[in-house]
Structure 1
Amino acid sequence: MLHLRSRLLSRVRAAASLRHHLLLSTTPASPSCFVAEDFLITRCDLTPAQALKSSKHLAHLKSPANPEAVLAFLTDIGLGKGDIASAIARDPCLLCSKVDNTLTPRVAELLDLGLSPLQISTIITAIPCILRRSQCGLNDSEISKLLMLAPIILLEPQNAKDIVECADKLGVPRDSPMFKHALKAIFLASPARINAKLDFLKKALGCSEAEVNIAVRKLPHIVSWTEVKLIPTVKFLKMEVGLDPNYIVRRPAVLSYSLKKRLMPRYFVLQALKAKGLLKKDVDFYNVVSQIEKKFTKRFLDPYKETVPGLAGAYAAASAREAGSSKHPGIQL
């Protein structure tokens, strides 16, 4: 990455410097030689309507030298004509930026965050103002987490700011590994629907807002799940398994497992073993359902092949049933 960064920046600096000197030597100094609207149409491929709207941001320029240097810079870091047109239309002030003092150092910062040249090009096309300033008051680490999420980089800065502020309100620390997952979950659910989702979770689980927030901080993706997925799972865990709300919110991952293919079959295995007096003590339900299949088989099926000969087969059949089935008959031995 360091080699790539050095090579890219050296190439950009050299090309930008050469073109800048060429422009200075061939561009007349007369103020009348630069008409912003014409430049935006002929050199940046903007439509007349876009050029008219954007030209006011360039009215103070007396020469095309700096805009030409910016266009050369964007080309040299990999943006195509269409991408450049999109970036300029979104942020015409980009053409006023200084290549050496602003754009080149900013690209270096983005490379240091671990972004590839292709990712940087995509980001600039969608959020060109990132070359002139950081987003939303976030530090570089937080920007990295935000931009590495593919859907997020396509957002306007204000939308991204709304998502970040929503994550803050949910109490997910920005330095937490869960922060980037919270951003993605909020994006999928949309910030405007988060309050309604939290109200649903409080009602479904029968717990307080503070308890729901505990679950969200542990597993942010819970806010992006549909009610169709959550309602039957919550009902099963509370009514059948007998888990209380506090247990669930402190282990929200239990809600992420398939109801028909994991939660029900493993619960019925435990019930079958208890009915035959083969479990000497209570086992923690979450520890059971969170085990990988190999470990679960070794702990709860293999030791009982002789004492409960049909158990493994019944479990396999139950786990393989279609998730769309309206009822789950359990394990019949």
Structure 2
Amino acid sequence: MPRLRNSLFPLLRAASPLPSPIHRRACRLLSTSTAITPAPFSLEDYLVASCGLAPTQAREVSKKAFHELSRAHRRPSDELSSSRINSASNPDAILALLSGVGLSRDDIAVVVSADPLILRASVKNIAPRLLALRDRLVATISRNSKDRVAAKLEFYKRILGVSESEVSTAVSKMPNILRFSDEILLRKIKFLVSEAAMEPRYIVERPVLLALSLEKRLLPRHYVIKVLQEKGLLDMSFYSVVALGEDTFKSKFIDRHKDSVPGLADTYAAARAGIMPSRI
């Protein structure tokens, strides 16, 4: 991942002790967070919510972090709490620094997976950790990326029953679909096939379907489509509807029918919040 490698060099400069806008922002984050009593810190949850790791990956990285802490403090890992990760500095400040020099969410996930204890580094001493990471990290990314891509391509071929060339074409259209966990993809594919009545080949020809959120986009809009179709107010394909931007969708299918289908806006909002109504 050349972009990640290139981003590490300005990051090393940004992490020097000299004042910079990035440092000032990070320090503000640190000072603000220490003024408020934080909720109990869960490293595993933080890795999922803030670093973009899948739950299973977060669990493994969390174990790795506590193992490294255990070695450093010469204490059994079960005697260490998640607060030890959060004790030296605010992890949000480290993420702000990494993001501030151009690292994407995926790049940050790679960095944190390789060195989870970087989250407890202070802004001033992050540079030595990155220097130690730099060469090992780029080599690891290169090696693991090939293996992950090959495994993901095989997954799509097996689950969707399509050819390698069809999968390759789908990935070229939407590279983002390579980063989702098998668990998330299985749920999306099951929904698209069972509930939205799509053929596997139709899905792979429209890979954006696999990149959309199941909870925030596919399920709520499918519910709205069914309601409008039952009332004879809609004659469009599921794909055409879910591909629309949020504002356009709400204007065309929620606001336009607010009088003919009272309560549709509220039930759509509830569906996006994870509360699926049985019927309006």
TM-score normalised by the chain length of structure 2: 0.50
Structure having greater relative contact order (Cα 8 Å, sep ≥ 6): 2
Q: Highest CA radius of gyration, 1 or 2?
A: 1
TM-score normalised by the chain length of structure 1: 0.42
